[in-house]
Structure formats: structure tokens, C-alpha cells
Amino acid sequence: MRRPAGLAAIVMTAWALWACGGAITAESQDRTAEARRMVDAQLRARGIHDERVLAAMLKVPRHRYIPPEMQRSAYADSALPIGYGQTISQPYIVAFMTEALKLEPQDVVLEIGTGSGYQAAILAELAREVYTIEIVAGLAERARRTLEAEGYRNVHVRAGDGYKGWPEHAPFPKIMVTAAPEEVPPALVEQLAVGGTMILPVGPRMGNQELRILTKTGKGVMTERSLPVRFVPMVKPPGDGSEP
């Protein structure tokens, strides 16, 4: 007996939806497995011990913050290009810098260098609010859309000059900078709360850079030098030559 055309269309549609759902589930399982291997091999094995940080690194889908052509390498042990001459940091560096801040659930964080929005998402899993500034307007808008799509309502994105910080919401108990100035920006030190912590790479564009962890006290700023690193330079808006 010939099957009615309408019924055949319904059957084909149902089959297509089932097949699509199965493919999505398989891809999701593969990505979860990749994330777990990243956490175990790249983070735990290298000394990242904060369970809240490890849980955030496992939860946040790194591949969704990376351009489609690079997503196959999303969980690789390396930095990756995200367009506009910028990069998403190596997973270990993301975890190391996050752990160094010793975030508490009530913390409000200032991030300089939004990039893809991935680091902001990690911070948002661990802190109450994240204010993040990106010099490249196109990246800021893309990150804002991605973070909104991922459900983050506690991340506030601004396109602007990171050297100036976000004074309206200062002081901040925690500040993270994900691009390298040649010197620590004074405005960011001013906006760091007493008792607060800032982590940032410092060094010349083509020379040696290092991660520094700053702690502000009532008497001044204490600086701890940690890892040698290589970050993209922290830049100013075109036409503003007051900083590198």
C-alpha cells in the first residue's frame, strides 16, 4: 500500500530530527571528554589544585568562544587566534591566573582584555560580578553576544581603553589583565582595593614578559614575580600616545 505523501514527510522529518539530536549528543559527549582530558592532563598534572577553578574549566565550553575554523583545536595545550590579531590564552595560563586571584563568591572582578570572553566566563563562574574591557570593538561585541548566549548575566562588557580601568565601579578586590603593558598601569593600581590582588603580564612587545601578582596594602603594593609568558601587547586607542 502506498504511504500518503503527508505521512512520508512527517516520518522523514522525525528521522532527521532524531539523527540531528543524536549527532548533537555525540558531539557534546566528545567535547566533555576533551574538556576532562584538558583538566586532568594540562591543569591537575601541572599543579592547579583549586577545585572551584578546575570545575569552572571543566564546565565552560571553550570551543564556543573560538572561531569555527579553530574549534577542532579548542582544548589543545596552546593559545589560539581569535581574529583581530588577538588570541585566547592556553588553558593552563587561564587556570593559573584564575587560581592566583583566590576568588571568593562575593568578589567583583575587573578584567582588562576581554578577547573571546572565555576568561570572563571562567571568572563569572567564581565571582559575583565581572566588569571586562576590550580595546577592539568588534571583539567586545562578539564576546558580549557569546556570553549572553551562554547565559552569563553577571558579566558586563565595555569597548574601551583598559589603561583607564572602570572607575565607576572601583575599587575592585580582584583585577586581571590579559594583555601585556610595558609597565603596570597606575590607574589600575588606584582602582585595586586595599587588600586586593591583581595579576597581569608585564614586559615589552618583543622582549621578555613575566606574570606579576600584586597585592595592595595600606602601606603600598607588594609584587610577586611568577611565570615567564608571552602575551599580546596592551594597546591604547588610536591617536593616544600617552602610553605604549
Residue 243 counted as domain residue: no
**pLDDT of amino acid 20:** 46
**pLDDT of amino acid 25:** 64
**pLDDT of amino acid 29:** 77
**pLDDT of amino acid 10:** 53
Q: What are the residues facing 156 on neighbouring strands?
A: 131
Name, in order, each residue with C-beta under 8 angstroms of 23's C-beta and a sequence gap of 6 or more: none
pTM exceeding the 0.85 threshold for the entire prediction: yes
Residue 242 counted as domain residue: no
**Rounded distance between C-alpha atoms, residue 148 and residue 238, angstroms:** 29
For residue 123, the domain's CATH number is 3.40.50.150
3-state secondary structure of 217: strand
User: Is 89 annotated in the active site?
Assistant: yes
Helix axes 51-59, 118-126, angle to 10 degrees: 130
Residue of 45, 39, 180, 176 lying closest to 103 (CA atoms): 176
Residue 149 CB neighbours (<10 A): 10
Residue 236 counted as domain residue: no
Task: Calculate the CA 239 to chain-centre distance.
Answer: 28
The mean pLDDT values, 10 residues at a time, for the chain of 244 residues are: 52 47 62 96 98 98 96 96 95 98 98 98 98 97 98 98 98 98 97 98 92 96 94 83 46
Residue 198 is part of which domain span?
Answer: 91-229
Is 77:71 a contact under the CB 8 Å cutoff?
no
Residue 34 counted as domain residue: no
When divided into structural domains, the chain yields a total of 1
Catalytic entry in 28, 73, 89, 242: 89
**pLDDT of amino acid 14:** 45
**pLDDT of amino acid 199:** 98
